[in-house]
């Protein structure tokens, strides 16, 4: 995998990677029958997913489009 | 009932697969269709996964098996199997007066506004003590505050066995005092044998339904 030269696409790639990691943590926590699973799910999985979503939203508003 | 995990795992797998497509082919987002796809897979689907995951874990945390997964709580789980109808918790559990799969949660959640939220916050404190603190011995574990009659009356109020019970009506002042929480159901010498984990080794245990 290579990162795109386009800043918007690169941010979307980073956002996607954060989201995949968050989803992976979330999936693993579903199969762990211990109270710590909920803490990890929200503390790490939720954090990664939240960062991924925020990065996606940030990438939408931060890239300046040329005036037409 | 235990929340279903398969639909959530399937949704997570589909979401992750779609995100992979965007990570490996970011050029797709240049088109209008790609932008819509990005909105779904980088925003909407992860939010849905997060919401469903939280709902799953909250539902899971209400299960008896979840409470008993900590070793400190295992004697309390064994106390549900005491073969003596005089043991309040055991009689409720074995006779399904409370849902067996949600036995702890049914009696130990305050039936008041924010009761559930408070129970979850206390649960987080328990996790902290379990992993980072010094958990007390099971026999030394006490409730944060005396058991409120409200939790009993949530089910028993209006029930014939409660309202017309001979012992409850032996003294005309008893039922009004119980209903007003001036006389506790569990600590007044009436239903005071609840978990009693300190004397559990002396009790005969029920083996469970076949």
Query: What pLDDT, in 10s, does the model give residues A12-42?
Result: 999 999 999 999 999 999 998 888 898 899 9
- Tokens found for residue B69: 């997964």
Q: How far is A41 from chain B (nearest CA, A)?
A: 8
Q: Which residue has the higher pLDDT, B181 or B210?
A: B181
Q: What is the pLDDT of residue A66?
A: 59
* Collapsed DSSP state (helix, strand, coil) of residue B152: helix
Query: Could you tell me if B48 lies within 8 Å of chain A, comparing CB atoms?
Result: no
Judge whether residue B112 has pLDDT over 80: no
Judge if pTM exceeds 0.90: no
Nearest chain A residue to B3 by CA distance is: A30
Q: Are the C-beta atoms of B46 and B52 separated by less than 8 Å?
A: no
* pLDDT tens track for B48-82: 999 999 999 988 888 999 989 888 899 999 999 99
Which residue of A1, A35, A39 is in closest CB contact with B24? A1
Cα–Cα distance for residue pair B21/B5, rounded to 1 Å? 25
How far is A15 from chain B, CA to nearest CA, in Å? 7
pLDDT digits (tens, 9 = 90+) for B130-141: 888 898 998 888
Whether A13 contacts chain B with CB within 8 A = yes
User: In terms of C-beta distances under 8 Å and separation of at least 24 residues, what long-range contacts does A34-42 make, across chains too?
Assistant: A34/B69, A35/B61, A35/B66, A35/B69, A35/B70, A35/B123, A35/B126, A35/B127, A35/B130, A36/B127, A36/B131, A37/B57, A38/B57, A38/B60, A38/B61, A38/B127, A39/B124, A39/B127, A41/B53, A41/B54, A41/B57, A42/B54, A42/B57
Task: Output the CA torsion sign for B111, B114, B120, B124.
Answer: negative
Query: To 5 degrees, how large is the angle CA B143–CA B149–CA B155?
Result: 115
Q: Tell me, what's the pLDDT at A62?
A: 84
Interface list for B 117-136 with A (CB within 8 A)? 123-124, 126-127, 130-131
**pLDDT beyond 70 at B157:** yes
The residue of chain B nearest to residue A15, with distances taken between CA atoms, is B42
- Mean pLDDT computed over every residue of chain A: 89
Residue-averaged pLDDT of chain B: 90
* A11 part of contact set with chain B, CB < 8 Å: no
Chain A residues inside the 8 Å CB shell of B35 = none
Smallest Cα distance from B27 to chain A, Å: 7
Are the Cβ atoms of A17 and B23 closer than 8 angstroms?
A: yes
């Amino acid at each position: 995998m290579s990162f795109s030269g386009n800043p918007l696409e690169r941010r979307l790639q980073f956002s996607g990677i954060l989201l995949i990691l968050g989803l992976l943590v979330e999936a693993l926590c579903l199969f762990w029958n211990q109270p710590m699973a909920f803490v990890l799910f929200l503390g790490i999985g939720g954090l990664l997913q939240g960062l991924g979503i925020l990065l996606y939203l940030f990438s939408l508003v931060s890239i300046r489009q040329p005036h037409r | 009932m235990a929340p279903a995990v398969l639909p959530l795992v399937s949704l997570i797998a589909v979401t992750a697969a779609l995100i992979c497509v965007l990570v490996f082919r970011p050029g797709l987002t240049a088109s209008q269709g790609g932008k819509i796809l990005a909105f779904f897979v980088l925003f909407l689907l992860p939010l849905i996964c997060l919401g469903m995951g939280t709902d799953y874990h909250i539902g899971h945390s209400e299960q008896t098996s979840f409470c008993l997964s900590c070793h400190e709580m295992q004697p309390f789980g064994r106390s549900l199997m005491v073969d003596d109808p005089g043991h309040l918790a055991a009689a409720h559990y074995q006779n399904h007066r409370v849902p067996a799969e949600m036995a702890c949660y049914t009696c130990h959640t305050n039936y008041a506004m924010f009761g559930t939220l408070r129970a979850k916050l206390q649960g987080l404190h328990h996790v902290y003590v379990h992993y980072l603190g010094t958990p007390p011995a099971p026999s030394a574990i006490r409730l944060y505050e005396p058991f409120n009659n409200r939790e009993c009356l949530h089910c028993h109020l209006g029930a014939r066995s409660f309202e017309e019970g001979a012992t409850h009506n032996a003294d005309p002042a008893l039922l009004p005092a119980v209903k007003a929480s001036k006389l506790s159901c569990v600590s007044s010498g009436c239903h005071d044998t609840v978990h009693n984990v300190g004397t559990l080794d002396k009790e005969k245990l029920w083996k469970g339904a076949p």
